[in-house]
Chain A
Amino acid sequence: MARVASALFSRLVIIIPYAWLLFFFLIPFFIVFRISLSQTAVAMPPYTPVFDLFGGLSGILEKAREFSFDNYVWLTEDVLYFNAYVSSVIIAGVSTVLTLLIAYPVAYGMAKAPKTIRPTLLMLVILPFWTSFLIRVYAWIAILKPEGLLNQFLMSINVIDQPLIILNTNWAIYIGIVYSYLPFMVLPIYSSLEKMDHTLTEAALDLGCTPFTAFWRVTFPLSLAGVVAGCLLVFIPAVGEFVIPDLLGGSETLMIGKTLWNEFNANRDWPVSSAVATILLLILVLPIVYFQNAQAKADGEGR
C-alpha cells in the first residue's frame, strides 16, 4: 500500500507540472504555427477555421490542403519586416555588449567587497528587479526628454547649450535596455566571480603578471560561464522587447516586438502576427537551447 502511494506520489510530482507546461507552453506554439498558415478573415476570431478535432483524419487532411504559406510570402515581400528583424537583433546585440561593460565592473566590485556587506549589495542589485519594469522604463521619459532632467542638469553646468535629443532615438532604447536588464547581467557574473579561487590570481601576480594580464588571462576566463549566462539573459528577451522601443524609441525605430504588437492590436491580423512570432522563435531557438544547456550544466555542477 505504502509502495503504491509512494510510486503515485513520485508520478504526480512529475506529471502535474509536466502536463501544465505541455498544455500551456508547448502546445500553444503549435497553434501559433498552425494559425500562421491560415488566411485572414473578417470574423471573430479573425482567421479561417484551422482544425476540427471531430473531423477525423480525413477532416485534418482536408484542412491540410488549405494550408498556405501566403503569410510568410507576405513577410518576405515587405522589406519592413526584414528590417525589423535585423534591427532588433542589432539593437539587442549592442545593448548586450553595453550591459556587459557596465555590469562587469559592478559585479567585480561586489565580489571584492568585504564579506559582511556582500549580502546587502546583493539585495540592492535584486531590489530594482522587483519594481515594475513599466515604471522603470517610464521613469526615463522624464529624464531624457528635451526639456527633461538630464538636459536641465547638463545645461545648468554649462556642458551643453542646446538640449540633447535622446528620447525617441535608438540611444534611448539602449539606455532603457541596459538599465532594465542590468541586474540579469550582474547576478550571474557576480556568482561566478564569488565562487572563484582567488589564490589563482595571486599566483599569477606572484609570478610576475601585471594586474591587467592576471585579470585578462585568469579572472576573466574563469568568470566566462557567468558572462555567457548574463549575455543570454539579456539578449534573448531584448530581441523581442516591446515596452522599451514603444515608450522610449522613435516612430522610425523598428523592432520586431513592436511590429508584432501593432500587427496584432492595430491591424488585427492574427495570421500575420503568428507568422512574425514563428520566425522570431526560429531566430531565437539556438540561443534559447544554448541557454537551457548552460543552465542544466550549472545545475549538474551544483549537485
Chain B
Amino acid sequence: MRLTAQEADTLASAQVFSVKARPVVRPVEEMYLPSQVAAPAQVAEVLRHFTGVQVKDYGGVGGLKTVNVRSLGSEHVGIFLDGIQVDNAQNMQVDLGRFSTAGIGTVALFNGQKSRRLQTAKEYASGAAVHLNSARPVYGDGSHGQAKLRGGSFGTVNPSLQWDKDLWKGVTLRTAAEFLTSNGRYKFPCFDTTLVRENGDIRSLRLEAQLFGQSQRDDWQFRAYAYGSERGFPGPVIRRALGFPFSAERQADQDIFIQGGWNRDWSERYATALRLKYADSYTHYDTHPEKNPMALPYDLHYRQRSGYVSVAQSYVLANPWSVDLSTDLQRNALDSDVGQFVTPRRTAFTGALATRVAWERFRAAAHLVYMGAWDCFDSPDAGGWTRENGYRDAWMPSLSLFWSPLEGLEWDAYAKRSYRLPSFNDLYYSQMGNSSLVPESALQFGTDLRYTYWPRPWYWEARVSPYYNRVSDKIVAIPTSSQFRWTMLNIGVVDVLGMDVKAKAACQAGPWDIGATLRYSYQRALDHSTPGSQTYGNQIPYIPLHSGSLTLSAHGNGWSFAWDSSFTGGKWSRTANTPDYYIEPWSLSDVTVGRSFPLKAVRESSMSKLVVSLALNNIFNTHYEIVQGYPMPGFNALLSVEYKW
C-alpha cells in the first residue's frame, strides 16, 4: 500500500537537527519496489506510469528506451544510480532498457530541483532527474537471497540471482547476476499485410558486486558492475523490395564501471560525502552488408571512458538552517574508428552551493550551480568545421519552497534555470558537428498543490501540478548548402505549458488493501524557433496533448492484483502538424496477478517465500507505434517465479 518511502540518504544521518531530516523537495513520483508483490521487471516500465513522463520506445526487449520529462528532451533528464549519474557523453541518451529493477529499492522522479543534504553537484544540475537507489541490505539480518526466473513472450528467458552476506562488522556483501535472452519476434501490421519483427533479438549478462558498510558515523557503499550485450536492430518499417530484409544491423556493448560513496558525520553539524566512479563502455556497430544488400557498409567501434569524483559538504549553521557545498570533477573521452574522428576529451567541473531552512510547516531551499566544461580534441587536420578548443560554462540558479498551511494540505513550488552541455555528437560528429555551440538552456517553473485526507480505513489524495518550461538555445541539426552535410545550431525554442493531475483513493478492508490511482497529463509544447516559419506555433514531435492512466490494485492474503489502463493522445512525428505525420491515439491495458507463498522461516526476522507473478501486457492486442516506423508488440505475457530467503 505504501507508495512513498524515504530514501536511503535521508535515513542515514542523525536526527538531532530537524533540518537534516525534513525534505524541502519531495519526489513527484516515487515507487518503493520491495513492497510490490509483482514489481515491473524493467525501470522503463516503472517510469512509464509516472505523470509527465514520456518513455520513447523503439519496441521490443532490446529496443532503445529513453525518457523525456515534461517535454524538456531526454538530454535534460539525469539518470542517477545511488546518487551518481549514469551518463553518455556521446549522445547524452541513457538507454533505460538496460536497467532491470533487480536490487533497486526506490525509483523516484524529480521535476524541478532535487535538494537533499550531501547530494552531488550533478544532482543539482539536471533539468529533471530519475533516481534509482539500491535496496540496502541491513547488517545483522544474516544471509539473504533472491533467485528469480522470468520468461514468456518473445522467447524471453531472464534468470537472475542476488545474494547478501554479512562479512564483518557492519559490512555486507551483495553479489548479483542476471542473464536475459529474447528473440524479439512479434507480429506487427506492415501496410497491407502482417509480418513478424526480425533481427530484434538480444542477449545480455549483468554481473555486480556491492559492498555496504555502516557504522555510527560512516555510511558507505561500493559497486563493481559489468554488463555485456549483443543485439540486433530491426530497423524502421518502410517499403522494402521483397527478399531484402529491413535490417541486419547488430550492436555489441561491453560496459563496466566501479563506483563508490562514503558519507561521514564529522560532528552533529558537519558532514561530508565522497563519491567516485570510473566507467568504460565499448560499442561495436556493424550493418552487415554481406547479409543485407540494402545496408550501407558500416563497421564501427566506439569506446567511452569517464572518471568522476565528487565531494559534498553539509553544515548546520543554526537549526533549522543548513548550507551545502558540492564540487564534482569529471573527465570524458571518446574514441572511434569512424572517418575524420577527432577523439574528443572533456573535463567538466560542477559546483553547487545550496542552503535550506526547514521548519515544520514552511521550508525553503536556494541553490546556485556553476558548470564549466573544457573540451579538446587531437586530430587537427581532419574534418572541416571550426575546431578551436572550447570552454563552455553556465550558472544555474534555482529556488524551492514548501508550505503546509494545514494538516494534509501541502504546496510547493520551484523556479529553476538549467543547462545541458552539447554532446560529443553535437560538437564533433564527422557529418554534422559545430564546435561553437553553447549549452542548451531550460527555464522551469512549477508548482504543486497536494491534499491528503486519511479517515481510517480510507486514504484520499489529490494533486494538481501546473508548470511552464522554456527550452531555448535548443541544439538542432540543420542542413547546409551541401546536401550531405548538416550542422548543429542553437536555434530551437520550445515553450511548454502543462499540468499534471493525480488522484488516488485507497481503502483497507479486512486483510485487503484496495487502491485506485488516476493520472492525467496535459502538455502543450510549442515550437517557437523561427517566427514566420511554417512550423512556428506547432506542437513539437512526439508530445501528446493529453495522456493519462488509471491503475486499480488489490493486495491481501498473499495475493496481488493490478489493472492498468493508459491513454496516449494523438500527436505528430513532425513539427509540421499535418495528417501525413499524425500518430493516432492509443490505449493500452495491462494486468498483473501475483501470489506470495510463505515457506519455512529461515530465521526469526525473515520468512523465506516463493512469489509467482504473471504480467499480461497489452491485453487487447492494440497495435501502436511510439516512434513512427517502429511498431510495438501486441499482447504478451511474462511469468516470473521468485524464491526469496
Q: Are A and B interaction partners?
A: no
